Amino acid sequence: MPVIAPMPAARPARIPSQRDGSDAATADNTDAAVAGTTVDHLTETYRAHYRSLLGLAALLLDDTASCEDVVQEAFIRVHSARKRVRDPEKTLAYLRQTVVNLSRSALRRRILGLKLLSKPMPDMASAEEGAYDQLERRDLIKAMKGLQRRQREVLVLRYFADMTEAQVAETLGISLGSVKAYGSRGIAALRVAMEASA
């Protein structure tokens, strides 16, 4: 999957010193020391985890085109703010959190759009796109949509994205206890909804 990385912001050109030709190397070393996570590390992390990030967005949005847009936008935003990612090990966490936040924004825009439309647009996929699989998942998706937003996010990250409770807490910016509480309440509500639809 090709990655489209935005160009870094232009910096004022430095005039080389006439005493020696080592200013360019010194500038590169200074930039590397201040830069936070490197563009190469961010790009490799993005490439390695693109499918999982796309899957995460798909579980929150359930719309392939929007998911791809969200994941690309997440890369661009983290790329622009990469100086704030001091620990390269947290690059993936930043990408995941950005995907979740952008998915929330997309959902808000979608809800607003549905309110403004006179009649809802059909969202059934064609038979070629796996209608049979969608029918099997329809009840689960309907039940998930009926959960509170935070419960749905915790369950999606914990069970569909296969994150640990600590990773979910870090991604959503909430405490570990809150993750456990939202998770148990969400599962209970999901069980009730699934039993009612059976």
Domain 36-115 sits in CATH at: 1.10.1740
5, 79 contact by CB (below 8 A)? yes
Domain 137-197 has CATH 1.10.8.420: no
Determine how many CB atoms are found less than 10 A away from the CB of residue 161.
20
For residue range 140-184, what is the model confidence (pLDDT) as tens digits?
A: 778 888 889 999 899 888 888 888 899 999 989 999 999 999 999
The domain segmentation of the chain, as residue ranges, is 36-115, 137-197
For residue range 74-89, what is the model confidence (pLDDT) as tens digits?
A: 998 888 888 887 788 8
11-28: buried (b, 16+ CB within 10 Å) or exposed (e) per residue? eeeeeeeeeeeeeeeeee
- Residue in 93, 91, 104, 20 with CA at minimum distance from that of residue 59: 104
Look at the chain and count its residues: 198
The first and second tokens of residue 173, run together, are 């910016």
Instruction: Look at residue 14 in the predicted model and tell me its pLDDT.
Output: 41
Comparing 78-82, 122-126, 158-162, 186-190, which segment has the lowest mean pLDDT?
A: 122-126
Instruction: Look at residue 2 in the predicted model and tell me its pLDDT.
Output: 41
Higher pLDDT, 30 or 80: 80
